[in-house]
Amino acid sequence: MPSRAADEHVQISVVVPVYNEQEIIGETYLRLSNVMESAHYTYELLFVNDGSRDRTGSHLHEICVNDQHVKVINFSRNFGHQIAITAGMEHAVGDAVVVIDGDLQDPPELIPVMVEKWQQGYQVVYAKRLQRQGETLFKKWTAAIFYRVLRRLTDVEIPVDTGDFRLIDRKVCDALTIMEEKHRFIRGMVSWSGFRQTAVEYVRDSRQAGETKYSMKKMLTLSLDAITSFSHVPIKLAGYLGVVSFFAGLVYLVMVIVLDHTLSSVDFLTFIAFILGGWILACMGVLGEYVGRIYDEVKDRPLYLVASREGFVTTEVNHD
């Protein structure tokens, strides 16, 4: 392995989370390294291999052996996209950190534009999608609805139509890594952190190879994490529903007494029992979401476990 100078100053760290991207990882590396070389930055490419089951790990090993800019963090299993990004940020040493998907949907060529904005004094430069190409209507619609619902529900101004493709300053990176929450919605956390933020616009390409690694389940979890991390509206909604159903019950009672209803009481009671039961269960579900998250925070497990690291100056990274 080529030796790495421990004291080399790194301007830009590029964090790339990857999960089963064997078809494209080589190409991603080439495009990234071309951009970084031609812009003459001092840089590191930090690939976080999020427990891939295909040959992504061995491809990354090859790449790392041949290029001293490359570092690889191999997770012991799949911990998820947001956790992989977090690990990358924790290991990054650059003055600025760029987070980019490993499937080339986010064009690496945009990085110099982001860096320029950063040099003008912005501490967060996020990439805003003008269009999404080659994605199913379902994905586009669910994403559009998700960002708009999120905006209505949350107190934090989270820009619509942005993903995790962004540049953050060292200060922001440090702020994010000391936030210890387990259910991480990084876009929201970046917005929450404040600092000077700006956008650059781009057209999101289609995936160059392979399929989306965001299953329906992962998308749902991400949306729930986003909403529960940044909004108390759902838990309040449970309360409102309770009040409404209570008064509805009272009105019903009064109406039956006043109008002397002819409808069979058994039918009606069954109907009411269903409605109330449904409401109570819905409210309990919302409570459950929050309580479950409190439980996760209290457990205080590490966010991820590293199986191995490659390309770092010291092989042991002290995490305490």
Burial category of 86 from C-beta neighbours within 10 Å (exposed 0-12, middle 13-18, buried 19 and up): buried
Q: Which residues are CB-neighbours of 303 under 8 A, at least 6 positions away?
A: 79, 83, 86, 87, 182, 184
Kindly write out the interface string for residues 101-120 of this chain, putting x where it contacts Mg ion by CB under 5 A and - elsewhere.
--x-x---------------
Indicate whether 213 belongs to the interface with ligand UDP (CB under 6 A). yes
Compute φ and ψ for 72, nearest 5 degrees. -130, 135
Give the other-Cβ count within 10 Å of 49's Cβ: 27
3-state helix, strand, coil in the chain (%, to 5): 50, 15, 35
Helix (H) or strand (E) holding 58: helix 56-66
Contact yes or no for 88/303 (Cβ under 8 A): no
Tokens matching residue 27: 């190409």
Indicate whether 164 belongs to the interface with Mg ion (CB under 5 A). no
User: Shortest approach of ligand UDP to residue 106 CB, angstroms?
Assistant: 9
Q: Which listed residue (13, 15, 21, 61) binds ligand UDP by CB under 6 A?
A: 21
**Region binding ligand UDP by CB under 6 A among candidate stretches 62-70, 207-215, 252-260, 262-270:** 207-215
Hey, which residues does 12 pair with through a beta bridge?
43, 96
User: Shortest approach of ligand UDP to residue 209 CB, angstroms?
Assistant: 11
User: Shortest approach of Mg ion to residue 238 CB, angstroms?
Assistant: 34
Q: Which 85-104 residues touch Mg ion, going by CB under 5 A?
A: 103
Indicate whether 98 belongs to the interface with ligand UDP (CB under 6 A). no
Measured from the CB atom, the residue of 44 and 283 that comes closer to ligand UDP is: 44
Contact yes or no for 71/98 (Cβ under 8 A): no
**Region binding ligand UDP by CB under 6 A among candidate stretches 149-157, 209-217, 297-305, 312-320:** 209-217
Indicate whether 71 belongs to the interface with ligand UDP (CB under 6 A). no
Q: Which does 80 bind (CB under 5 to 8 A by kind): Mg ion, ligand UDP, none?
A: ligand UDP
Measured from the CB atom, the residue of 11 and 78 that comes closer to ligand UDP is: 78
Measured from the CB atom, the residue of 122 and 126 that comes closer to ligand UDP is: 126
Ramachandran assignment for 192, one of left (phi > 0), alpha (psi -120 to 50 degrees), beta (any other): alpha
Half-sphere exposure of 204 (CA within 13 A, CB side): 20
Q: Which 77-96 residues touch ligand UDP, going by CB under 6 A?
A: 78, 80-81, 84
Q: Which 7-46 residues touch Mg ion, going by CB under 5 A?
A: none
Helix (H) or strand (E) holding 13: strand 12-18
Kindly write out the interface string for residues 23-62 of this chain, putting x where it contacts ligand UDP by CB under 6 A and - elsewhere.
---------------------------x------------
Q: Which does 19 bind (CB under 5 to 8 A by kind): Mg ion, ligand UDP, none?
A: ligand UDP
Half-sphere exposure of 151 (CA within 13 A, CB side): 11
Q: Which does 57 bind (CB under 5 to 8 A by kind): Mg ion, ligand UDP, none?
A: none
Sheet holding 70-75, edge to edge: 197-204, 124-132, 162-169, 96-99, 12-18, 43-49, 70-75, 306-310
Provide the CA 132 distance to its chain's centre, in angstroms: 18
Q: Which does 312 bind (CB under 5 to 8 A by kind): ligand UDP, Mg ion, none?
A: none
Give residues in contact with ligand UDP (CB under 6 A): 17-19, 21, 50, 78, 80-81, 84, 101-103, 105, 212-214
Give residues in contact with Mg ion (CB under 5 A): 103, 105
